[in-house]
Chain A
Amino acid sequence: MNFRAVAAIYKFEMARTWRTLLQSIVSPVVSTSLYFVVFGAAIGSRISEVQGVSYGTFIVPGLVMLSVLTQSIANASFGIYFPKFIGTIYEILSAPISHVEIVLGYVGAAATKSIILGLIILATAGLFVPLHIQHPVWMLSFLVLTAVTFSLFGFIIGIWADGFEKLQMIPMLVVTPLTFLGGSFYSVNMLPPAWHSIALLNPVVYLISGFRWSFYEIADVRVEISVAMTLAFLAICMTIIWWIFKTGYRLKR
């Protein structure tokens, strides 16, 4: 294992994060605060409670997940797309490093960043509503697992994209709708039966449900199913990445 290479990539990526601190941290925090104002205060004042917790409190896990998902994808896809775009990828490809090491460096940095971000958002949320986390270890596990899984997914998008539009396309057209419809702001149990069944096809429902369970022990689906679904998605992403490196897809001519 070339740990120095992993560390070099990781440090390089984290340096980029600190350089772009404003976009990286501040803007998601601001937008989350806006969600709180709009959904928590404006709408929440009309909805009294969801499954025994106040609406403002109810949406906290969903909001954190929303940011962690989108940021993981954005960070990781940009992290690998950019060297491809400016050509510095030549150095990564010609270095004595394995695929696993490349992924560890890039995905590790992207996941770290979105975990930090998730915790910052959680702290921000704490300014608006009282927080109580029933299962902190599970909460952290879900956070880490989601950050890693979606950073892997972002990495795949970054390799697949051959233009900036494509880089934006999947997050905008697929991920954002899925997260919004995935129960960030409501419980899927609140939906009419037909919509409820459709909602269960959305993988994000399982992530948010599991994460919310770790806070309040309320869930839309059983927590074991949440864990299994997340792990399954992780496995799918890893398989795709293994295939990408094996074939050199979009990396080598």
Chain B
Amino acid sequence: MAPVISVSGLSKTYASGFTSLNNIDLSIERGEIFALLGPNGAGKTTLISIICGIVNASSGKVAVGGHDIDGDYRAARAMIGLVPQELHTDSFESVWATVSFSRGLFGKPKNPALIEKILKDLSLWDKKDAKIITLSGGMKRRVMIAKALSHEPQVLFLDEPTAGVDVELRKGMWDVVRELKAAGVTIILTTHYIEEAEEMADRVGVINKGEIVLVEHKAQLMQKLGRKRLSLHLQQRIDAVPEALAPYQLALSDDGWKLAYDYDTKGERTGITSLLGDLRTAGIRFVDLETKQSSLEDIFVSLVRQ
């Protein structure tokens, strides 16, 4: 199936001469949740802003649902809902009015029942008549989500949707995202909470210094790049790792009861068998062992450091 968003050769150099995107190629599949990760200033917001029509690209092409974002901007933009990173809200409008305004702006006929559902899903229903200025930051963030959902987008951009939202409401928000995905909406999100990407995303893209450094299915990514850690709970505490085991670069816990061994699951030989043999030789016995896959965060940090 054709990708719902295709970006090719996209570059952006700001008027200041700073290049924030450098020849980006990216395809987003219909119906997936795509997490765009990258350190501060990597170019995530710039990329989203170009696709949504807020920033002009310097070169390159973007199509949404097959519609060019310049040539056929109406059709392209009609598909998109955007929740920007910064909290940009009116002050004196009511929640209900501002959400209804968004729907009108996108050319959709009035649908109070839908807006009611959206506000209820986002726990905003009791605030529907409140002026936006009287809301807290987290509530404003949800108002912006409601605005983006009001016009029933097929593609939803969430630029750090959970920044400043408390744990409970964050869960509620992810429930909304899951529901949208189930309804066939494509979701592109950025977040600095990597657990969120790990939990929610189908695919992960990492952007650094304006270049896409990796796009991968989450599971494959973790498998391919994942390192594992083998932890051994010792029968007796030891003071230091024996000299003979030095090549394994084992980490001894402070209390001396635990040894940890990091290995690469990609490697032909993980070294576990020989480690276990050498441990026996060194007279170290253990009562329990466990292995743990490294998280997306570890992968991310190692990628961006390179």
Q: A residues engaging B (CB < 8 A)?
A: 2-5, 7-9, 11-12, 15-16, 19, 86-88, 90-98, 248, 252-253
Contacts and interface: CB of A to CB of B under 8 A. Distances in A.
Interface string B85-119: 01011111100010001101111110000000000
Contacts of B86: 87
Contacts of B82: 90-91, 94
Interface in B1-46: 14-15
6 closest Cβ contacts across the A-B interface?
A8-B104, A87-B88, A96-B77, A96-B78, A94-B52, A96-B74
A16 B92 CA distance: 9
Given A15-B97, A253-B15, A95 B89 contact: no
A248 B104 contact: no
Contacts, number: 79
Interface string B190-233: 00000000000000000000000000000000000000000000
A97 B53 CA distance: 11
B105 A90 contact: no
Contacts of B88: 86-88, 90-91
Contact of B107 (A19, A93, A96, A253): A96
B218 to A, nearest CB: 28
Interface in B219-260: none
Contacts of B56: 248, 252-253
Given A90-B84, A93-B53, A93-B54, A98 B108 contact: no
B80 interface: yes
B182 interface: no
A98 to B, nearest CB: 7
Contacts of B89: 86, 88
Nearest to B80: A94
A172 B78 CA distance: 41
21 contacts: A2-B74, A4-B105, A4-B107, A8-B104, A9-B105, A86-B91, A90-B82, A90-B84, A90-B88, A93-B53, A93-B54, A94-B52, A95-B77, A95-B106, A96-B73, A96-B74, A96-B77, A96-B106, A96-B107, A98-B74, A253-B54
B77 A94 contact: yes
Interface residues of B, number: 33
Contacts of B74: 2, 96-98
Contact of A96 (B15, B75, B97): B75
Contacts of A95: 77, 105-106
B147 interface: yes
B55 interface: yes
Interface of B: 14-15, 52-56, 73-78, 80, 82, 84, 86, 88-93, 97, 101-102, 104-109, 147
B131 to A, nearest CB: 10
A7 B108 CA distance: 11
Nearest to B89: A88
Contacts of B90: 86, 88
A11 B84 CA distance: 24
A16 B82 CA distance: 24
A15 B84 CA distance: 25
Contact of A4 (B52, B76, B77, B104): B104
A206 to B, nearest CB: 38
Nearest to B110: A4
Contacts of B75: 96
A145 to B, nearest CB: 28
Tell which of A3, A5, A86, A88 has the most Cβ of chain B within 10 Å. Answer: A88
B77 A12 contact: no
B302 to A, nearest CB: 33
B92 to A, nearest CB: 6
Contacts of A88: 88-90
Given A12-B101, A248-B56, A19 B15 contact: no
Given A93-B53, A94-B80, A96-B78, A5 B104 contact: yes
Contact of B105 (A8, A98, A252): A8
B53 A94 contact: yes
A163 B21 CA distance: 29
Contacts of B106: 5, 95-96
Contacts of A11: 101, 104
A103 to B, nearest CB: 15
Given A96-B77, A96-B78, A2 B107 contact: yes
Contacts of A5: 104-107
Contacts of B54: 90, 93-94, 252-253
Contacts of A91: 82, 88, 102, 105, 147
Contacts of A96: 73-78, 106-107
B92 A19 contact: yes
Nearest to A20: B92
A7 B92 contact: no
A187 to B, nearest CB: 44
Nearest to A105: B105
